[in-house]
A and B are shown apart, each in its own frame.
Chain A
Amino acid sequence: MRHILSILMENEAGALSRVAGLFSARGYNIESLTVAPTEDPSMSRMTLVTRGTDEVVEQITKQLNKLIDVVKLIDLAESAHIEREIMLVKVHAQGSYREEVKRLAEIFRGSIIDVTASSFIIEVTGAQDKLDAFLNALEEQSVFEVVRSGATGISRGEKGLHL
């Protein structure tokens, strides 16, 4: 099962490596990881996507909670939430394919943010599966650079992750 762990932690040097080190030391997998400061500059928030059985993810969250730098965490996948990832794709686009790429970008609500005679850079935002779908829609040979931010997320409604 895919889990999206949202982690509030001290904004301290070393906090990130404690989390990353925990995953490698215990053989857990990290599918993606994003981290940045929050509205409170003393804290940063990490979104970490991992896969594992319920038992494994239970251990992961317990071990994360044990880290002194971790203030609080939730598994977004357990309740209603919004997930977003940003992707930048550079594609070869010449001749009639230029029009097709534009159309596809529109369908996926992407925007073309750089144009040359032979290429576009398209920015697309959404959940993981939407970005995957966009990539699939493009001609495989035309895609020559893909940059994805990894997922970030937030739970819906009043409840959420704060002190």
Chain B
Amino acid sequence: MELSGAEILVQSLKDEGVEYIFGYPGGSVLHIYDALFKQEEVKHVLVRHEQGATHSADGYARATGKPGVVLVTSGPGATNAVTGIATAYMDSIPMVVISGQTPTPMIGSDAFQEVDTVGITRPCVKHNFLVKDVRDIAETLKKAFYIATTGRPGPVLVDIPKDVTDPAVLVSYEYPSKVSLRSYNPSVKGHKGQIKKALQVMLAARRPILYTGGGVILGEASEELVSLTKKLGFPITNTLMGLGSYPATDRQFIGMLGMHGTYEANKAMHECDTLIAIGSRFDDRVTGKLSEFCPDATIIHVDIDPASISKNVKVDIPIVGEVKGVLKEMLKLLDNGEFTPNPELTVKWWERIEKWRSYNCLEYDRKSTLIKPQYVVEQLYEVTKGEAYVTSDVGQHQMYAAQYYKFNKPRRWINSGGLGTMGFGLPAAIGVKLAHPDADVACVTGEGSIQMCIQELSTALQYKTPVKIINLNNGYLGMVRQWQEFTYESRYSHSYMDTIPEFMKLAESYGHVGMRIDKKEDVRGALEEAFALKDRTVFLDFITDPTENVYPMIEAGKGHHEMRLAPGMITDEDLA
């Protein structure tokens, strides 16, 4: 079969099984757009800003496990995509970004819309390519998808100069059925000896805790994690990225840990004697002050990326391997009787944890006449029966969503953890809705964040992706305001926007349903009404308490035992 470079590109996407491509046209990708026009299998979603394209592709990837695919033009198209690429990179999300480039003979001449895309993106991609020959397109794409989706996943960019997709140049096409790279060997199996050693330590523990993260979701190992945790009978905490990999409503789950983690999870971290880290990367939002981190613990760490191990915290028993395989091996050793857990050992530990849990650290002022953001999330959880896909932006609202929506399944909680990208939520929700058209999709956002990619409301109408936008409108860049209250003596330097749009009207002008809710008693009804409108995007503008803070909080430079708790909360430390 003889095809042009542009046709090869599109055909490769089909052969790769790509369903959606999120993009925005421009000069250097016009040949590709023409090839897209002539087919229907790969569906193109025209976003309103290239950042939106990357976040939508990212949301699609997080909700499905399949790679998200993006197409942008050279120059500003590519630079606009950088934030979304970095967002995917920090959270290890599989993505393939195709960018147009100045024709090869003009590269380096400061040509129109030329930027060094490969150079600009190098630090925030897993790998990138510049394709200089039409005969290399198919193989490069195969490599790109292979690299993006295997090992520790991540975004891969393929930069294609315009002349390489020239419709007049035809070459033979064959999509490689597989590819191997001598310098890249992603499938790693955990070392059996290390796995046994780890189990031995785990089963002798008196104060164990499982600390699991995004790697369990990326590695599709929730089922194994649940079985293992049940067999062990240990308490389990999740990172922000790991939420949903273990059912939040289960008794053994003690909540998220870290900066805004629960009292019980952070206390248990501080006092544990054995820490079992699985697919989590000891991020500074999780560890707090390193010198105070888990002072008594023997640390076991399962991770596919050797560079994650002992990066921030020295690990005693490292297991480099793919999480699913490692957990399966542990389950096998427990099932065949080689190792047997002894529940007696952890009875005291559980008593202690239950005590901490009984303080109910997520309790908030329910009597207030103002709408509390926590209340809105609780109601969202009830109205959607805990079954929705929830995306979020970045700020206080993100933490409330993480704390009060109890995720029982993986891939339901979709947020930017590593980069913390405001503007992520809405475009991500569109990607999720395309992937799961029959599911409820909510975007929990703030009046600051939503304005960073608000233009995607227009995309949502064109592609009929009815998502529900839960705007927790506190009138402030709330997370910033909170830090200023705590550490800058309430000097609210530029964290208040004097002017914000009337979101209801804005939503209407984009062709959606807008609602403004400023009474507590209307919260539930509004949510029910919105979710009943199955085929409409609804923007719910909840006017919430502007002074509310996220608790508990471990302030910068503090340890897990030094949490700042909601005012009025009494603990045994106070009593002692």
Contact (A59, B119) CB under 8 Å given A68-B181, A68-B183, A71-B182? no
**Per-residue interface assignment for chain A, residues 54 to 76, with 1 indicating a CB less than 8 Å from any chain B CB and 0 otherwise:** 01001100110110111110000
- The smallest beta-carbon distance between B569 and chain A, in angstroms, is 39
Contact B183 A70 (CB under 8 A): yes
Instruction: Say if the beta carbon of B453 comes within 8 Å of chain A.
Output: no
**Residue pair B147, A163 in contact (C-beta under 8 Å):** no
In the bound complex, do residue B130 and residue A13 qualify as a contact, i.e. CB atoms below 8 Å apart? yes
Contact B182 A17 (CB under 8 A): no
A68–B144 Cα gap in the complex (Å)?
Answer: 11
The contact of A68 among B123, B126, B306, B307, by CB within 8 Å, is B126
CB <8 Å contact, A59 and B311: yes
Residue A123 at the B interface, CB < 8 A? no
Contact call A25/B123, Cβ cutoff below 8 A? yes
Q: Is the CB of B183 within 8 A of A58?
A: no
Q: Which parts of B94-135 form the interface with A (CB within 8 Å)? A: 118-119, 122-123, 126-127, 130
Task: Type the 1/0 row for A18-36, where 1 means its CB is closer than 8 Å to any CB of B.
Answer: 1001000100000000000
Residues from chain B with Cβ under 8 Å of A58 in the complex: 310
B545 adjacent to chain A (CB < 8 Å) = no
Within 8 Å of chain B (Cβ to Cβ): is A14? yes
With both chains docked as a complex, state the minimum distance between the C-beta of B321 and any C-beta of chain A, in angstroms. Answer: 15
- Pairs across A and B, CB under 8 Å, 10 listed: A14-B118, A14-B122, A17-B119, A21-B123, A55-B310, A66-B305, A68-B126, A70-B183, A71-B182, A72-B183
Known: A14-B118, A18-B122. 6 other contacts (CB 8 A): A14-B122, A62-B306, A62-B307, A68-B181, A71-B182, A163-B182
- Minimum Cβ distance to chain A for residue B42 (Å): 26
On whether the beta carbons of A10 and B183 are closer than 8 Å, the reply is: yes
Interfacial chain B residues near A48, Cβ < 8 Å: none
A9, A59, A65, A66, most chain B CB atoms within 10 A = A66
Are A59 and B307 within 8 A (Cβ)? yes
> Are A68 and B127 in contact (CB-based, < 8 A)?
yes
Q: Once the chains bind, are B184 and A68 in contact (CB under 8 Å)?
A: yes
Complex CA distance for A63 and B130, rounded to whole angstroms: 22
A14's contact among B130, B184, B307, by CB below 8 Å, is which? B130
- Say yes or no: A68-B122 contact (C-beta < 8 A), given A9-B183, A14-B130, A58-B310: no
Chain B residues, Cβ within 8 Å of A163: 182
Residues of A within 8 A of B127 (CB): 68
Q: List which A64-110 residues lie within 8 A (CB) of chain B.
A: 65-66, 68-72
Number of interface residues of A (CB under 8 A): 21
Question: Which chain A residues numbered 1 to 53 have a C-beta less than 8 Å away from chain B?
Answer: 9-10, 13-14, 17-18, 21, 25
Closest 10 CB pairs of A and B: A62-B307, A71-B183, A68-B127, A62-B306, A25-B123, A68-B184, A63-B307, A21-B122, A66-B307, A21-B123
Q: What's the least CB distance linking A55 to chain B, in Å?
A: 7
Residue of B nearest to A9 (CB): B183
Q: Which residues of A contact B314 (CB under 8 A)?
A: 55
- Of all chain B residues, which has the CB nearest A163? B182
A70 to B305, CA, bound (A): 15
A116 to B211, CA, bound (A): 71
Taking CB as reference atom, which chain B residue is nearest A14? B118
Specify which chain B residues have a CB less than 8 angstroms from the CB of A17 in the assembled complex. 119, 122
Residues of A within 8 A of B307 (CB): 59, 62-63, 65-66
Given A14-B118, A59-B311, A71-B183: A65 and B306 within 8 A (CB)? Answer: yes
B147-180 residues at the A interface, CB under 8 angstroms: 147
A69 to B307, CA, bound (A): 16
Q: How far is the CB of A69 from chain B (nearest CB, A)?
A: 6
Expressed in whole angstroms, the Cα–Cα distance for A28 and B502 within the complex equals 49
**Residue among A13, A14, A59, A69 making CB contact with B183, cutoff 8 Å:** A69
Which residues in chain A, 129-153, are within 8 Å of chain B measured between CB atoms?
none
Interface residues in B179-223 by Cβ distance below 8 A to A read: 181-184
Q: A9-B183, A59-B307 are in contact. Are A68 and B147 (CB under 8 A)?
A: yes
Residues of chain A within 8 A of B182, CB atoms compared: 71, 163
Q: How far is the CA of A58 from the CA of B314 in the complex (A)?
A: 12
Cα-based distance from A68 to B314 in the complex (angstroms): 26
Residue in B closest to A24 when the chains form the complex, CB atoms: B123
The smallest C-beta distance from B99 to any residue of chain A, in angstroms, reads 15
Q: How far is the CA of A93 from the CA of B147 in the complex (A)?
A: 58
Collect the chain B residues with CB atoms within 8 Å of residue A18's CB: 122
* Residues on the B chain within 8 Å of A70, using CB: 183
Of B118, B119, B126, B306, chain A has the most CB atoms within 10 Å of the CB of B306
Residues of B within 8 A of A25 (CB): 123
Q: In the complex, which of the residues A10, A62, A68 has the most CB atoms of chain B within 10 Å of its own CB atom?
A: A68
Chain A residues positioned under 8 Å from B122 (CB to CB): 14, 17-18, 21
| Cβ < 8 Å to A, chain B residues 307-338 | 307, 310-311, 314
Query: Could you tell me which residues of chain B, from 415 to 439, have a CB within 8 Å of some CB in chain A?
Result: none
CB-CB under 8 A from A59, the residues of chain B are: 307, 311
Kindly list chain B residues whose C-beta atoms are within 8 Å of the C-beta of A62.
306-307
C-alpha spacing A35/B49, complex, angstroms: 41
* CA A125 to CA B79, docked complex, whole Å: 47
CA distance A121 to B311 in the complex (A): 47
- Which A residues are CB-close (under 8 A) to B130? 13-14
A residues less than 8 Å from B126 (CB atoms): 68
Chain A neighbourhood of B118, CB < 8 A? 14
User: In the complex, A66→B287 CA distance in Å?
Assistant: 24
Q: In whole angstroms, what is the CA distance A18 to B119 when docked?
A: 9
Distance between Cα atoms of A10 and B181 in the complex (Å): 10
Q: What is the chain A residue whose CB lies nearest that of B119?
A: A17
What are the residues of chain A within 8 A of B147 when measuring CB–CB?
Answer: 68
A68–B147 Cα distance when bound, in Å, is 9
Q: How far is the CB of B369 from chain A (nearest CB, A)?
A: 50
A73 to B119, CA, bound (A): 24
- How many angstroms between the C-alpha atoms of A21 and B147 in the bound complex? 20
Which residues does chain A contribute within 8 Å of B306, judged by CB atoms?
62, 65
Bound together, the chains give a CA A13 to CA B119 distance in angstroms of 11
CB distance from A28 to the nearest CB of B (A): 13
Smallest CB separation, A145 vs chain B (Å):
32
